[in-house]
């Protein structure tokens, strides 16, 4: 019996929030695994720069703009993907609001910020799946980015924690709805990753993670990308509806 390799060769994968940080690392890892990558970002210039670097390294990569907080922008992205590329094999929903919103207690969060976080992190993830899943063939895979903050109940971050808890719940429901189409849907819950978006996080929170992990060290993008590549690959074709914590054992799933 032949077992599928952890390879994305011949597969086209779209990564949102791919202009920099963890999203860019995901796009690079997918390309190195053989995927033809579409990098999407609110910052179109950053996405194009990242795609150009991948092309210079010999990979097939394209960039498209998207604001996942705006339904029309997501619809336009899907139309562009359909027109230029036709079929998708993988979707990695990485884009989210995470920077600069922490530090407030539940009763200090203003309604405008709460709604903005849920508009992007929850509604945006749903709409990306709604518009792009129809472009996916049997054997496709969707990976949503959650967060381990939703697993341990991180304080002073309720809006973000709530949004990522919703992503976990949606992943399970989407897995059941898309399973009959042959599409697997899973999510990854990283810990606090050392990227530009977490530079604002207080040292105390970084120390809490880095000293409290079963593997007691900082977490970097390359610690997360392997799990995403696996879940996007044919090797994980029969894995769906699962939430995988990738956090060095800070919390166990």
Tens of pLDDT, residue by residue over 185-212, are: 999 999 999 887 777 778 888 899 999 9
- The whole-chain average pLDDT of the chain stands at 95
pTM of the model: 0.96
- Catalytic positions are 160
**Model confidence at 3, in pLDDT bands (50, 70, 90)?**
low
CATH code of the domain covering residue 221: 3.40.50.720
Average pLDDT over residues 27-35: 98
Poorest-confidence range of 26-35, 195-204, 231-240?
195-204
Taking the C-alpha atoms of residue 61 and residue 57, their distance in angstroms, rounded to an integer, is 10
- Report yes or no on 47 lying in a domain: yes
With CA atoms as reference, report the closest residue to 67 among 28, 22, 116, 24: 116
Is it the case that residue 221 has pLDDT exceeding 90?
yes
- Report yes or no on 38 lying in a domain: yes
- Report yes or no on 218 lying in a domain: yes
Taking the C-alpha atoms of residue 98 and residue 96, their distance in angstroms, rounded to an integer, is 6
- Report yes or no on 4 lying in a domain: no
CA distances to 45, 114, 242 from 152, rounded to whole Å, are 36, 20, 17
Angle at CA of residue 26, ends 23 and 28, nearest 5°: 110
State the total domains in the chain: 1
Taking the C-alpha atoms of residue 234 and residue 141, their distance in angstroms, rounded to an integer, is 9
- Report yes or no on 160 lying in a domain: yes
- Report yes or no on 253 lying in a domain: no
- Report yes or no on 252 lying in a domain: no
**Model confidence at 2, in pLDDT bands (50, 70, 90)?**
low
Q: Read off the pLDDT of residues 113-152 as tens digits, 9 standing for 90 and up.
A: 999 999 999 999 999 999 999 999 899 999 999 999 999 9
Domain that holds residue 235: 12-246
Please tell me the predicted confidence (pLDDT) of residue 1: 56
Average pLDDT over residues 65-79: 98
Please tell me the predicted confidence (pLDDT) of residue 199: 72
With CA atoms as reference, report the closest residue to 15 among 29, 34, 1: 29
Please tell me the predicted confidence (pLDDT) of residue 203: 86
Is it the case that residue 168 has pLDDT exceeding 70?
yes
Average pLDDT over residues 84-95: 97
**Model confidence at 100, in pLDDT bands (50, 70, 90)?**
confident
Phi and psi based region of residue 182 (left: phi greater than 0; alpha: psi -120 to 50; beta: remaining): left
- Report yes or no on 118 lying in a domain: yes
């Amino acid at each position: 019996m032949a077992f599928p390799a952890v390879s994305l060769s011949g597969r086209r994968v779209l990564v949102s929030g791919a202009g920099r940080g963890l999203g860019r690392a995901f796009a690079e890892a997918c390309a190195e695994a053989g995927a033809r990558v579409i990098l999407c970002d609110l910052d179109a210039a950053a996405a194009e720069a990242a795609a150009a670097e991948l092309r210079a390294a010999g990979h097939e990569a394209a960039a498209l703009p998207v604001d996942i907080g705006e339904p029309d922008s997501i619809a336009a992205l899907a139309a562009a993907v359909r027109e230029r590329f036709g079929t998708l094999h993988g979707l990695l929903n990485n884009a989210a609001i995470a920077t600069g919103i922490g530090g407030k207690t539940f009763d200090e969060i203003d309604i405008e910020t709460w709604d903005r976080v849920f508009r992007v992190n929850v509604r945006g993830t749903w709409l990306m799946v709604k518009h792009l899943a129809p472009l996916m063939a049997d054997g496709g895979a969707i990976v949503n980015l959650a967060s381990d903050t939703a697993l341990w109940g991180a304080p002073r971050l309720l809006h973000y924690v709530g949004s990522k808890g919703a992503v976990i719940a949606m992943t399970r429901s989407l897995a059941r709805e898309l399973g009959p189409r042959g599409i697997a849907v899973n999510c990854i819950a990283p810990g606090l990753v050392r990227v530009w978006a977490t530079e604002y996080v207080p040292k105390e929170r970084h120390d809490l993670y880095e000293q409290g992990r079963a593997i007691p060290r900082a977490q970097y993008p390359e610690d997360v990308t392997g799990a995403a590549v696996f879940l996007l690959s044919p090797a994980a074709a029969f894995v769906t509806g699962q939430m995988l914590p990738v956090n060095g054992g800070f919390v166990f799933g």
